Amino acid sequence: MMRKLFFTRLALFLSVMLVLSLIPFLTLLQPSVSAEPATLSTHAQSASVIDVQSGRILYSQQGDKQMRIASLTKVMTAIVAIEHGDLADRVSVSSAAARKEGSSVYLKAGQTISLENLLYGLMLRSGNDAATAIAEHVGGSVEGFAYLMNREASMLGMSHSHFSNPSGLDAPDHYSTSDDMAKLTAYALKNAKFREIVKTKVKRATVADESGDLPDYVWGNKNKMLSLFPGADGVKTGYTKLAGRCLISSATRGGQQVAVVTLNDGDDWADHARALNYAFANYPLAKLVSKGEEIEGTKLVSAVDYWYPLNEEEKAHIGRKTLLGDPYSLDYRFGTLGRLQLTLNDKPIATLPLSGPGKDDSARGQANATFNQMGVGESGDSPNTLPHLFIRVIRALFLAASQE
């Protein structure tokens, strides 16, 4: 009898222990209900992750700390040259450009090369000689080009940045932050020529001198992320002894493009891979509004599609507010009958144009969406100001008028 009771109790004990041992495995089989995204850490002194389409900063580690940025500077050099220069121009290399210290594509004084090819030498090989030649040609001088760089920074809301040269060589008044460089990168990646350049792995460039064309330069991209990370499509490496290793990378997955900026990071390749995966896994694009979608309580429809990166918890905290247009306004005349304001945790993230049902408002939508496509952050402030927006909006409005 005692023996039978012993074995009964033993069997019961073993059964309980078996169930307890399975709990961790059974938990893994349940769908995750965690509201908070996984944590991210890097070896960088400063780091930022940004969703390119919306301009939302997804992660910031000392993102406003002013630091040296080395050749990440050349992102600004490239976009200023693309916007202010003629890429078909033939640029004459000066003695000052040919002698510029630091990384080089080995241009010689008196050679001529197209501005477009100089941009490849700038971004793929980080040529300081190319940077100087670009600055002298587009800005009239290095100082004149620095003025254009700082004006661009101001337009983009890069409030913690200042540029004194086009190459990124260390200087007391040459600095930025990872958040500011993330804003710049998101802006630059919206430019088709910039995107084409920074994703190129190898470029052949023709250079000439007084005797005619010389053998082509062949430039390989220093950005190893293009080969290390699936979907990588940019952007720029950088290094000086004082700045340390600096890197901007970008990648596209499932239609979403993300960029990562690290400053003074001794393990940047690995950190960027982790940061990109973190962003794609935790902040996928969510479609908040569909073009043609009827807005509740009105007879108006959205003129555009709108996507925004959200983690699971945030999806329940999106708000909408409809703002009806003034019938006597210019916006109303061009078909924008109202606006839909989107908020996240009561903070504006976008304001979208609304039109009447059944109209083709693609041009009008393009014009109005311009205000929200460039880096609208959680504060609702756009880094663009009138000089950039005015030209784009007027062009789109004229296009809309021509379709009347």
pLDDT digits (tens, 9 = 90+) for 53-82: 999 999 999 999 999 999 999 999 999 999
C-alpha distances in Å from residue 145, one per residue of 50, 283, 364? 27, 37, 35
What does the alpha-carbon distance between residue 29 and residue 50 come to, in Å, rounded to a whole number? 32
pLDDT at 265: 98
Nearest CA to 213 among 295, 89, 289, 111?
111
Q: Which residues of 151-170 are buried (b: 16+ CB within 10 A; e: fewer)?
A: ebbebbbbebbbbbbbbbbe
User: What would the pLDDT profile of 78-90 be if each residue is shown by its tens digit?
Assistant: 999 999 999 999 9
pLDDT above 70 (res 275): yes
Does this model's pTM top 0.75? My answer is yes
Burial class (CB in 10 A: 0-12, 13-18, 19+), 63: buried
Q: Which of 48, 71, 176, 249 is catalytic?
A: 71
- Active site (annotated) includes residue 199: no
201 belongs to the catalytic site? no
Summarize pLDDT for 353-385 with one digit per residue, the tens: 999 986 654 544 444 444 444 443 333 334 444
Q: Is the confidence at residue 141, as pLDDT, over 60?
A: yes
User: What φ, ψ does residue 356 adopt, rounded to 5°?
Assistant: -75, 155
Q: Structural domain boundaries of the chain? A: 46-282, 285-402
CB crowding 336-371: b at 16 or more within 10 Å, else e: bbbbbebbbeeebbbbbbbbeeeeebebbbbbbbbb
Give the side-chain half-sphere CA count within 13 A for 169.
15
Cis peptide before 235 (omega within 30 of 0): yes
Residues 283 and 285: their CA atoms lie apart, in Å, by 7
Task: Choose the catalytic residue: 74, 183, 203, 236.
Answer: 74
% of the chain surpassing 70 pLDDT: 79
Which CATH number is correct for 285-402, 2.170.190.11, 1.10.10.10, 2.115.10.20, 2.60.410.10? 2.60.410.10
CATH fold for domain 46-282? Beta-lactamase (3.40.710)
Catalytic-role residue among 104, 126, 178, 250 = 126
Give residue 328's region: left, alpha or beta (phi > 0; psi -120 to 50): alpha
What pLDDT does 214 receive? 86
φ, ψ of residue 22 to 5 degrees: the values are -90, -15
For 171, the 3-state DSSP assignment is coil
Angle, in degrees to the nearest 10, between helices 142-155 and 73-84: 100
Is 74 one of the annotated active-site residues of the chain? yes
